[in-house]
């Protein structure tokens, strides 16, 4: 890394979660060693049935075994066990351009981002990959659009596995997912806590022959959809429960107005069961709104507590760190 006029030394860790990547892991480790010769490269082997661990070790990586199956479990273990100032996360399938690592590092070092993301979608390299189905690309678009609306942002690729983090982010982000939805979880967490995210376009490469994807379009898509609903409930409770309250209130009024009109005409409640149902729905609507208001207050206090935790991991002042952008 080309850092000008800087007396501090920063440690860099490359984190590669792997499951049966024997065909590609040697090339990935070798490329990172050439691009970032001073970085420590960690390969976390997730119960591979092939020779991934042996090949990675021979290529010069530090191999760690994670027995809990799932990418989320692997990343949780990585963040807990590896200590560094800058963390680079990529996949071991040789689909991400290692030569772009420096470009992803610079905004984090300069304090412009807590997390940089390699954006595969802006240049359509992901969509144009030879074996990439249209359903997966459309799913990416829909989920990203949903997140942008919910969090009032303009992100382009929330699923990318090529990311760089500062120490603050890694040591404070909770990883709750156990599968491939973990990248989305990290993005949503950063958005909710108002952390700085910067996307940098990269060129996505197709997997080499003999290397198979571990993604399942329907299974992982459904998991991500469930996670977004959970994030809405947990991080945007006022909007979530207000939407439920509005639906119940509209349903109650649409069924109750005829009952009220009949009462004004006859002085009698002619459809008592309907009136009872409408009253119950309106009560539920008010309860839902009350829950949203209470949880919103809890979230506000939770964010304040996180701000204090985040500040426990100091980062150099701008005057202490000058990064030469033009060299990348």
Let me know whether 125 and 147 are in one domain: yes
Q: Is residue 107 part of a domain?
A: yes
pLDDT in tens, 67-113: 999 999 999 999 999 999 999 999 999 999 999 999 999 999 998 99
Confidence (pLDDT) at 176: 86
Half-sphere exposure of 188 (CA within 13 A, CB side): 29
Q: What is the four-CA torsion angle of 104, 109, 114, 117, rounded to 10 degrees? A: 0
- Could you tell me if residue 314 is inside a domain? no
For residues 258 and 278, membership in a common domain is answered with: yes
In a domain, residue 164? The reply is: yes
- CATH number at 178 reads 3.90.550.10
48 in Cβ contact with 21 (< 8 Å):
yes
| pLDDT tens for each residue of 201-250 | 999 988 666 555 555 556 666 766 777 787 788 878 999 999 999 999 99
pLDDT at residue 63 in the model: 97
The structural domain count of the chain equals 2
The larger pLDDT score, comparing residue 244 to residue 8, is at 244
Do 154 and 117 touch, CB atoms closer than 8 A?
A: no
Q: Report, as an integer, the average pLDDT of 138-147.
A: 78
DSSP per position, 247-281: HHHHHHHHHHHHHHHHHHHHSS-S-HHHHHHHHHH
**204 and 250 belong to one structural domain:** no
One domain for residues 230 and 275: no
CA distances from 201 to 118, 124, 161, 288, 310 (A): 6, 10, 13, 42, 28
- Examine the domain organization and report whether 207 and 186 are in the same domain: yes
Stated pTM of the model: 0.79
- One domain for residues 210 and 242: no
Domain boundary among the residues 234, 265, 291 is at: 234
pLDDT number for residue 143: 79
192 and 114 housed in the same domain = yes
Asked if residue 298 belongs to a domain, the reply is yes
Which residues span the domain enclosing 275?
237-309
234, 253, 278: which is the final residue of a domain?
A: 234
Residue-wise pLDDT tens digits, 301-325 = 888 887 777 777 766 544 444 454 4
Q: Are residues 265 and 185 in the same domain?
A: no
Pairing of strands 40-45, 12-18: parallel
């Amino acid at each position: 890394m080309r850092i000008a006029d800087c007396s501090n030394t920063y440690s860099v860790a490359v984190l590669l979660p792997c499951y049966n990547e024997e065909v590609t892991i040697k090339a990935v480790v070798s490329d990172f060693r050439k691009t970032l010769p001073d970085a420590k490269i960690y390969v976390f082997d997730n119960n591979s049935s092939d020779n991934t661990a042996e090949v990675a070790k021979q290529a010069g990586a530090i191999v760690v075994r994670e027995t809990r199956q799932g990418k989320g479990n692997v990343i949780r273990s990585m963040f807990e066990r590896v200590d560094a100032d800058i963390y680079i996360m990529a996949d071991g399938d040789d689909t991400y351009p290692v030569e772009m690592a420096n470009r992803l590092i610079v905004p984090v070092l300069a304090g412009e981002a807590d997390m940089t993301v390699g954006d595969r979608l802006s240049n359509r390299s992901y969509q144009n990959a030879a074996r990439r189905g249209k359903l997966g690309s459309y799913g990416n678009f829909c989920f990203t659009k949903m997140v942008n609306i919910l969090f009032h942002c303009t992100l382009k690729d929330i699923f990318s596995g090529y990311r760089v983090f500062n120490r603050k982010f890694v040591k404070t982000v909770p990883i709750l997912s156990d599968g491939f939805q973990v990248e989305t979880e990290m993005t949503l967490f950063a958005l909710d806590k108002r952390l700085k995210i910067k996307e940098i376009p990269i060129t996505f490469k197709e997997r080499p022959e003999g290397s198979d994807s571990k993604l399942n379009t329907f299974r992982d898509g459904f998991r991500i959809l469930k996670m977004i609903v959970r994030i809405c409930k947990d991080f945007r409770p006022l909007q979530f429960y207000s939407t439920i309250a509005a639906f119940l209130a509209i349903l109650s009024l649409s069924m109750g107005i005829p009952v009220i009109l009949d009462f004004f005409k006859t002085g009698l409640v002619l459809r008592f069961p309907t009136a009872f149902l409408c009253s119950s729905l309106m009560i539920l609507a008010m309860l839902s709104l009350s829950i949203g208001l209470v949880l919103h207050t809890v979230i506000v206090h939770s964010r304040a507590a996180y701000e204090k935790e985040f500040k426990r991991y100091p980062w150099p002042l701008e005057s202490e760190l000058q990064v030469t952008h033009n060299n990348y």
